[in-house]
Chains A and B, each alone.
Chain A
Amino acid sequence: MTLWMAVIWPLLLSIPSLHNRLPWPRHLAIIPAAVLTVIPVDASINIAWLLYGTGFAIDGNIRWILGAFVVIWFAAATITLPSKDKPSSSYSTTLYLLTLTGSVGTLLTTDLVGFFSFSTLMGYSFYGFLILNGDKAQQRAGRLYLYFLIVADLALFEALLLVAFTTQHFQYEIARQVMSDSSSSPVYLYMVLLGFALKAGIWPFYFWLTAVFNSGSRSTVLLLLAGPMTMSLLGLLRWLPVREDFYIIGIIMQLLGVAAILHATLRVVTLILFNQGMARFSTAWFVISFTGLLSLALGTALLNPFLWQQYSHIVYPLIAAFSVSLSILILTTGKTHRKPASTDRAPVLIINISHELKKWIQATQQLATYLKLRAKTLWNKSGSFVIRRYQHVSNDQKIKSFVTDWKINITLFLILGLALAWLAR
């Protein structure tokens, strides 16, 4: 029952007319989740009628992360208290709570389709949250996030299709096992990696992550941590098929992880050296280094599945611990943040690319319209030419009187009679 409440309660609270009447709605929403964390009972329910048959479950591993979440959300909710009287804060709360619902649902659900559904809810709500009460920089970050989100969702959808093609069951363990053994697992692997890398901001797709960290308020960043990013990491853990043949991928992932850590360290060092003192910006790089570490670990796991089975359960508490420590870091580093640097070339580049694409499409469309217009005028001209000739001919008085002249008609009549008689022979 509490499992249900943990998901439904924030969803209900997100309705504006409801949460406008309750005090501290953001805090209220996490109560069922807190209860679940505290009570050490493993539970699971099977909901056969929802989607393709899903369910909710909680066990030790999940409890670690849920606990971390509860703490972080409590912190995030508390921080935003003073700014409650901003206009449109009602909608802001709605989107906040929807993101929360999505996160809890993603965490608690037991199969792939449920995971995908809730993570979609979470992703789009977070996008809305970014856009709604942010300044220009945050809105740009939100747009970046949206582009990445859409592509990621497409990739995950294709991955889901592959699973459906191979098997009927969508529970994590079964699906992962089946996909490891099936013939389409390389494609599946690519799709899963791509999707979650985009969603979690794993190097080299980290641009939106740094943009949000750079421009967002503290609660936003906290929410980001506790929501989309961590959930995507979790998703990677749950969806990834582990098999021995993924040698090359494993190597690549290890390389990427190492590159991430190196890049992050370099950046942090540069920042500290040149005393730009941007703690929160560096926090982003901490995150990136962590995800790099994870990537390294997964790469190793891909190379050696045996290791994975032994150590996979460590990752959960690890993620939980990391999130909490990072959030403490954020909380204590104050509100200052710097303007987007010119070094942020990549996000600008991506936005520029999308502008270019739009201009190109518009140019094509203008060409098409022009061609269509020419074709139409040509058609009209020729059509009207034909019509005018026809009307000239048929309106001509001389022709008219010719046609109705008796001599002509009688001649026609006689010719017809002769023709009929002749043909009848």
Chain B
Amino acid sequence: MSWNAWVPLLVVMSSLLPGLIIFGLAEDKARLRIALNLFGALSKLVLVSWMIWGVYQGYHYETRLPLLPNLELVLRAGPLALLFVSLSTILWLVTTVYAIGYLEDSPHRSRFFGFFSLCVTATVGVALAGNLITFLLFYELLTLATYPLIVHRGTEEARQAGQTYLRYTISGGALLLIGTVWLYSLTGTLEFTPKGFLSNVGEQHYPALITIFALLIAGLGVKAALFPLHGWLPQAMIAPAPVSALLHAVAVVKAGAFGIIRVVYDVFGVEFSAALGVLAPLAWLAAFTIIYGSLRALFQDDLKRRLAYSTISQVSYIALGVAIAGPIATIGGVVHLVHQGLMKITLFFCAGNLAETLGIHKISEMNGVGRRMPWTMAAFTIGAFGMIGAPPIAGFISKWYLGLGALNTGQSWVILVLAGSSLLNAAYFLPILHRAWFMPPPESWPHEHPDKHKGEHKGEHRDKHYWGHKETAWALLLPPLVTAAMALAAGLLVTLPFSPLEWAKLISVREFYQP
């Protein structure tokens, strides 16, 4: 294989190999583990940047390995793949730093970081997949790699949450498998091609194709948390905050949404899907999920659960953008993949900070926390306003394009859904901000964590050696600020060449206009 053919494989391996090594490390070798983690993350970032630069110059990066007779494992760097891969890589780097700070002194860190690296491997594989079988392979690998992270704490509660998670995701995987095999038996190929590869399937197979579409979307919809397949997501919040942040805001949920994008654009083709009539039900389902998720979020007192329902609602924007079947709506859906990832991960990081430093898990305990942790809450505010859709933060841009796309294709009911969702988002985010900034703080926080770096105290924990001037550990503070800044930049600087929006426009052009 030429050098260009190795690069995608190396991108996948760059987190697999450090992960496998980390499994074998003893618990106390913290420095080595941190070094390996950061080495993996940075090398992946370097390789991905290389790929982006190379694609910009016109090179092709594709790895082909034989898997089955007549089917190959294909890793290909196209624009959509690069979008998702770069999002995952950057966010993995940030989350690794966060996780190192969060899990300091927690048990079983080697196991945690090993599985963490495996998860990122699977996500990157999902992103770079060049045909449906490769996608399926890494998609299931993602399920298997995330399960140990959910049950990491080893409590009975965690085990039950893991069972629920598996029930949903393994069933989804089975549906995806049937759909894929059926499709393969009908068409003999599974390669992702722009505009789909089903154009020369005869008319008598159309009912079969509709069923296959339903199966594939059901299988992907489990991870993408479409109603009624969303039940695992609130349960999975039992995992530690870095896991919730990366996986349930970025990797797992986005893998499902990314799969839906792939199926509609590169397997069926958007015009063919519209002709088959399968996009309208998908749009309705996505719209229902948007409203349903926001409504459920209104009634949650636990912060992470509220964010989980918010995720359910927001990820369906992507499905809605895809289902509206217009070039501008495509831009909206695809760019929301990036924007929602940035904003949601900020929110989850902040929630993790609150839980880890002050022991706050419920919104009713959050009175006045803005004075104690101003930078964290500032990042939270930016993320929350982005979710509501206030300019100039990134969420505004995606809502803009979704609304515009809806107008363009004459489906104005979508605008009502978007407006309703913005209202509901404001209804459940603004009270949190109000509590945090404008209400007086309580006497003491539920469980304030002592600063571990302030010298030894044998036994007694009280007053003196708490954080003092510092808000919290820098490893916990820096990541949310970085992602909040990125969300702000993604909104302010939309017209720059490498912004997510420009990239999404490129993808849309390829899908709709090029032959």
Interface, chain A (partner B; CB < 8 A): 16, 48-53, 88, 91, 113, 116-117, 120, 124, 128, 131-132, 146, 150, 153-154, 157-158, 160-162, 164-165, 361-362, 365
- Indicate if the CB atoms of B374 and A117 lie closer than 8 Å: no
**Distance (whole angstroms) from the CB of A383 to the closest CB of chain B:** 14
* A-chain residues with CB within 8 Å of residue B492 when the two chains form the complex: 50-51
- Indicate if the CB atoms of B495 and A128 lie closer than 8 Å: no
Chain B residue nearest to A53 in the complex (CB): B495
Bitwise, B397-440 to A at CB < 8 A (1) or not (0) is 00110011001100000010001001100100010001001100
Closest 6 CB pairs of A and B: A117-B391, A161-B403, A165-B407, A117-B392, A131-B438, A120-B390
- On whether A365 and B415 interact (CB within 8 A), knowing A117-B392, A153-B390, A154-B423, the answer reads no
* A-chain residues with CB within 8 Å of residue B496 when the two chains form the complex: 49
Chain B residue nearest to A16 in the complex (CB): B374
* A-chain residues with CB within 8 Å of residue B494 when the two chains form the complex: 51-52
- Indicate if the CB atoms of B495 and A157 lie closer than 8 Å: no
How distant is the Cα of A359 from the Cα of B496 in the complex, in angstroms?
47
**Distance (whole angstroms) from the CB of B311 to the closest CB of chain A:** 20
**Distance (whole angstroms) from the CB of B293 to the closest CB of chain A:** 14
* B-chain residues with CB within 8 Å of residue A113 when the two chains form the complex: 391
Chain A residue nearest to B407 in the complex (CB): A165
From residue 494 to 515 of chain B, which have CB atoms closer than 8 A to chain A? 494-496
- Indicate if the CB atoms of B419 and A154 lie closer than 8 Å: yes
- Indicate if the CB atoms of B299 and A49 lie closer than 8 Å: no
- Indicate if the CB atoms of B407 and A161 lie closer than 8 Å: yes
From residue 324 to 376 of chain B, which have CB atoms closer than 8 A to chain A? 371, 374
* A-chain residues with CB within 8 Å of residue B408 when the two chains form the complex: 165
How distant is the Cα of A365 from the Cα of B390 in the complex, in angstroms?
29
B389 at the interface (CB under 8 A from A): yes
State the main secondary structure of chain B at its contact with A: helix
* A-chain residues with CB within 8 Å of residue B493 when the two chains form the complex: 49-50
- Indicate if the CB atoms of B391 and A131 lie closer than 8 Å: no
* A-chain residues with CB within 8 Å of residue B389 when the two chains form the complex: 157
How distant is the Cα of A49 from the Cα of B498 in the complex, in angstroms?
12
How distant is the Cα of A2 from the Cα of B399 in the complex, in angstroms?
33
Interface, chain B (partner A; CB < 8 A): 298-299, 371, 374, 385, 389-392, 399-400, 403-404, 407-408, 415, 419, 422-423, 426, 430, 434, 437-438, 491-496
Chain B residue nearest to A119 in the complex (CB): B391
- Indicate if the CB atoms of A116 and B426 lie closer than 8 Å: no
* B-chain residues with CB within 8 Å of residue A120 when the two chains form the complex: 390-391
* A-chain residues with CB within 8 Å of residue B385 when the two chains form the complex: 124
* B-chain residues with CB within 8 Å of residue A88 when the two chains form the complex: 371
* A-chain residues with CB within 8 Å of residue B391 when the two chains form the complex: 51, 113, 116-117, 120
- Indicate if the CB atoms of A49 and B437 lie closer than 8 Å: no
How distant is the Cα of A188 from the Cα of B400 in the complex, in angstroms?
16
Which of B299, B371, B392, B496 gathers the greatest number of chain A CB atoms within 10 Å?
A: B392
How distant is the Cα of A388 from the Cα of B378 in the complex, in angstroms?
55
Instruction: Pick from B403, B407, B430: contact of A146, CB below 8 A.
Output: B430
How distant is the Cα of A162 from the Cα of B404 in the complex, in angstroms?
8
* B-chain residues with CB within 8 Å of residue A50 when the two chains form the complex: 492-493
How distant is the Cα of A229 from the Cα of B494 in the complex, in angstroms?
30
- On whether A124 and B298 interact (CB within 8 A), knowing A51-B492, A158-B415, the answer reads no
**Distance (whole angstroms) from the CB of A179 to the closest CB of chain B:** 14
How distant is the Cα of A161 from the Cα of B404 in the complex, in angstroms?
6
**Distance (whole angstroms) from the CB of B272 to the closest CB of chain A:** 26
**Distance (whole angstroms) from the CB of A121 to the closest CB of chain B:** 8
* A-chain residues with CB within 8 Å of residue B434 when the two chains form the complex: 131
How distant is the Cα of A124 from the Cα of B386 in the complex, in angstroms?
13
- Indicate if the CB atoms of B299 and A365 lie closer than 8 Å: yes
Since A52-B494, A165-B404 are in contact, a sample of 7 more A-B pairs with Cβ atoms closer than 8 Å, ordered by chain A residue number, is A16-B374, A50-B492, A88-B371, A120-B390, A124-B390, A150-B426, A158-B415
How distant is the Cα of A411 from the Cα of B408 in the complex, in angstroms?
73
- On whether A164 and B438 interact (CB within 8 A), knowing A49-B496, A124-B390, A154-B423, the answer reads no
* A-chain residues with CB within 8 Å of residue B419 when the two chains form the complex: 154, 157-158
Chain B residue nearest to A164 in the complex (CB): B404
A-B contact pairs, 19 of them (CB 8 A): A49-B496, A50-B492, A51-B392, A51-B492, A91-B437, A113-B391, A117-B391, A124-B385, A124-B390, A132-B437, A154-B419, A157-B403, A158-B403, A158-B415, A161-B404, A161-B407, A164-B404, A165-B408, A361-B298
How distant is the Cα of A95 from the Cα of B357 in the complex, in angstroms?
27
Instruction: Pick from B299, B392, B415, B423: contact of A150, CB below 8 A.
Output: B423
**Distance (whole angstroms) from the CB of B285 to the closest CB of chain A:** 20
How distant is the Cα of A154 from the Cα of B390 in the complex, in angstroms?
10
How distant is the Cα of A150 from the Cα of B491 in the complex, in angstroms?
20
**Distance (whole angstroms) from the CB of B447 to the closest CB of chain A:** 26
* A-chain residues with CB within 8 Å of residue B399 when the two chains form the complex: 157
- Indicate if the CB atoms of A161 and B430 lie closer than 8 Å: no
* B-chain residues with CB within 8 Å of residue A362 when the two chains form the complex: 299
How distant is the Cα of A258 from the Cα of B162 in the complex, in angstroms?
66
How distant is the Cα of A164 from the Cα of B332 in the complex, in angstroms?
14
- Indicate if the CB atoms of A161 and B423 lie closer than 8 Å: no
How distant is the Cα of A53 from the Cα of B495 in the complex, in angstroms?
8
How distant is the Cα of A422 from the Cα of B374 in the complex, in angstroms?
83
* B-chain residues with CB within 8 Å of residue A161 when the two chains form the complex: 400, 403-404, 407, 415
* A-chain residues with CB within 8 Å of residue B374 when the two chains form the complex: 16
* A-chain residues with CB within 8 Å of residue B390 when the two chains form the complex: 120, 124, 153
* A-chain residues with CB within 8 Å of residue B495 when the two chains form the complex: 48-49, 51-53
* B-chain residues with CB within 8 Å of residue A153 when the two chains form the complex: 390
* B-chain residues with CB within 8 Å of residue A16 when the two chains form the complex: 374
* A-chain residues with CB within 8 Å of residue B403 when the two chains form the complex: 157-158, 161
How distant is the Cα of A363 from the Cα of B407 in the complex, in angstroms?
36
**Distance (whole angstroms) from the CB of A182 to the closest CB of chain B:** 12
**Distance (whole angstroms) from the CB of B412 to the closest CB of chain A:** 10
How distant is the Cα of A48 from the Cα of B494 in the complex, in angstroms?
10
How distant is the Cα of A50 from the Cα of B419 in the complex, in angstroms?
25
* B-chain residues with CB within 8 Å of residue A365 when the two chains form the complex: 299
How distant is the Cα of A158 from the Cα of B402 in the complex, in angstroms?
12
Chain A residue nearest to B427 in the complex (CB): A150
How distant is the Cα of A147 from the Cα of B316 in the complex, in angstroms?
26
Which of A117, A161, A362 gathers the greatest number of chain B CB atoms within 10 Å?
A: A161
- On whether A128 and B438 interact (CB within 8 A), knowing A52-B495, A161-B407, A162-B407, the answer reads yes
How distant is the Cα of A153 from the Cα of B400 in the complex, in angstroms?
13
**Distance (whole angstroms) from the CB of B11 to the closest CB of chain A:** 30
**Distance (whole angstroms) from the CB of A151 to the closest CB of chain B:** 8
**Distance (whole angstroms) from the CB of B299 to the closest CB of chain A:** 6
How distant is the Cα of A50 from the Cα of B438 in the complex, in angstroms?
32
**Distance (whole angstroms) from the CB of B344 to the closest CB of chain A:** 21
**Distance (whole angstroms) from the CB of A425 to the closest CB of chain B:** 33
How distant is the Cα of A116 from the Cα of B390 in the complex, in angstroms?
9
How distant is the Cα of A328 from the Cα of B385 in the complex, in angstroms?
36
How distant is the Cα of A43 from the Cα of B400 in the complex, in angstroms?
30
* B-chain residues with CB within 8 Å of residue A131 when the two chains form the complex: 434, 438
How distant is the Cα of A365 from the Cα of B296 in the complex, in angstroms?
9
Chain B residue nearest to A133 in the complex (CB): B438
How distant is the Cα of A7 from the Cα of B430 in the complex, in angstroms?
26
* B-chain residues with CB within 8 Å of residue A116 when the two chains form the complex: 391
* B-chain residues with CB within 8 Å of residue A157 when the two chains form the complex: 389, 399, 403, 419, 422
How distant is the Cα of A16 from the Cα of B430 in the complex, in angstroms?
22
